[in-house]
Amino acid sequence: MRIWSCSVLMTILLFVSCNQDSDKGSLNDTNKNGQSFSIGEKFSIHSDILDEDREVWIYVPEGFYDMNETDLQYPVVYVVDGENLFLPTVGVVQQLSSPFCATDLSPQMIVVGIPNIDRNRDFAPTNAMIFNDPSTLEVTGGADAFTEFIEKELFPFVEEKYSTAPYRTIIGHSLGGLFIMNTLVHHSHLFNSYLAMDSQLSWDEGRFREDALQHIKNDVFQNKNLFMATANNKYPWMSLQDVKGDTSLVMRMMRSLLLFEDDLKNVQPNGLDIQMTYYPNENHYQVPMPALYDGLRYLFSDHSFPEMAQYYSPENPKGDENLMKDFTAHFEMLSVKMGYEVKPAESYVNAWAFGFLQLGKPQIAEALLDLNIKNYPNSTHVHPAKAEYLERIQNKKS
């Protein structure tokens, strides 16, 4: 509960206030005094592929006292069902990466929300009935066209406008989770990480589940990550084994997910890391909240450098002389994994440096400040920070 309180507080108080042009608008709220706060920007993009205008909502990370604003590339998180999942996703990303919360459990990231026009059309990979309703055959099956819109029209729009890193994550729930899985198995080159929550793997009488399993068995993936969440949608008196044997319509989705997890136990995916998590205390509509947090924690589980705390100890068993070597090696590992040069955030390095100075370890402090100067030479903070350090150690000439 404490996590989400902090996330909501970040959403209300700490998002960037953006100057908005009349043609793009802002995502904001207004209190009784007429004052507003902004949580991002709203754009309308005409899609030739879909032959319609699509709205997108975009959040960009905030600087920390003007730090983290130069020479920095941001990974991008794309969220379908944007009207429902954009705000929770921004809150979780803030919680995991915000210097204001003193967390570096994920990189700071741009979040792009895509509100729906027709989710049955856009998320369904094939023409099939929804809840045995024959009329839905006419409106399903547009997932590949929606994917093409994201790849050929939305990606260029976002990447031209913002400083983006070549690392993308996509998130979806329910029918949106089906879309995430279809994107993974048929368009895996588009994203690096996939977060699918309570996905409709039972789509098309279970044919999609079999298709997805065959692709995961046989395809070669290039360093991809998948987190899947399964909610508890069974009757209270049923066991998980009961669900696996229940072929009724109401149990179809949960049954398909449980069987898919069983199938994966006998599969060794090539280049695809999979984590499936069951949430016994959450139903279909509740599961996005904990799954967003757990999923992003998992997908970026290697990002933080927890060993830094060891070096703050006066009796550090690793030896202070190894810090910069270990720190540099950590970000070299991240760079290989994520496919671009990942740099430690300027604000964190600056805070760590002056923390070491207060602990009487000026050599480490200076090495960290010099690293910031190397990584962010155009920042207005890194050189004054080094000057402040020199002043504190009484080296006023330097």
Which CATH number belongs to the domain containing residue 118 in this structure? 3.40.50.1820
Higher pLDDT, 70 or 56: 56
Residues 157 and 291 grouped into a single domain: yes
Residue 31: its pLDDT value, please?
A: 58
Residue 306: its pLDDT value, please?
A: 85
Average pLDDT over residues 264-286: 95
Higher pLDDT, 15 or 276: 276
**With contact defined as beta carbons under 8 Å apart, do 118 and 53 qualify?**
no
**With contact defined as beta carbons under 8 Å apart, do 177 and 197 qualify?**
yes
Q: Among 274, 299, 324, where does a domain finish?
A: 299
The answer to whether residue 318 sits within a structural domain is: yes
pTM: 0.88
- Structure tokens that stand for 30 in this block: 């207004």
The answer to whether residue 398 sits within a structural domain is: no
DSSP bridge pairs for 133: 130
Secondary structure element (H or E) that encloses residue 217, with its range: helix 207-218
Residues 192 and 291 grouped into a single domain: yes
- Kindly give, in sequence order, each residue whose CB lies less than 8 Å from that of residue 34, ignoring residues fewer than 6 positions away: none
Residues 352 and 231 grouped into a single domain: no
- Structure tokens that stand for 194 in this block: 């996939």
The answer to whether residue 397 sits within a structural domain is: no
**With contact defined as beta carbons under 8 Å apart, do 94 and 64 qualify?**
no
Residue 23: its pLDDT value, please?
A: 45
Q: What share of the chain in percent tops pLDDT 70? A: 86
- Structure tokens that stand for 55 in this block: 């709205």
Residue 64: its pLDDT value, please?
A: 62
Eight-state DSSP code of residue 268: -
Average pLDDT over residues 259-269: 93
Longest dimension (CA), the chain: 81
- Structure tokens that stand for 234 in this block: 């069974």
Residue 71: its pLDDT value, please?
A: 77
Residue 99: its pLDDT value, please?
A: 74
- Structure tokens that stand for 124 in this block: 């369904």
Eight-state DSSP code of residue 386: H
Domain that holds residue 118: 2-299
Mean of the per-residue pLDDT values of the chain: 87
Residues 277 and 331 grouped into a single domain: no
Label residue 218 exposed, middle or buried (CB < 10 Å: 0-12, 13-18, 19+): exposed
CA separation for the pair 170, 76 (Å, rounded): 9
Residue 24: its pLDDT value, please?
A: 55
Residues 246 and 365 grouped into a single domain: no
Residues 342 and 285 grouped into a single domain: no
The answer to whether residue 20 sits within a structural domain is: yes
Beta-strand pair 52-59/74-80: unpaired
Please give the tally of structural domains in the chain: 2
Q: Among 271, 299, 327, where does a domain finish?
A: 299
- Kindly give, in sequence order, each residue whose CB lies less than 8 Å from that of residue 133, ignoring residues fewer than 6 positions away: none
CA separation for the pair 345, 263 (Å, rounded): 41
Residues 179 and 253 grouped into a single domain: yes
Q: What share of the chain in percent tops pLDDT 90? A: 66
**Residue type (1 letter), 110:** I
Question: Which of 232, 227, 228, 243 lies closest to 280, judged by CA?
Answer: 232
Q: Among 262, 281, 299, where does a domain finish?
A: 299
Does the pLDDT value for residue 343 go beyond 50? yes
Residues 98 and 41 grouped into a single domain: yes
- Structure tokens that stand for 346 in this block: 């300027």
Residues 291 and 348 grouped into a single domain: no
Residues 351 and 287 grouped into a single domain: no
Residue 17: its pLDDT value, please?
A: 29
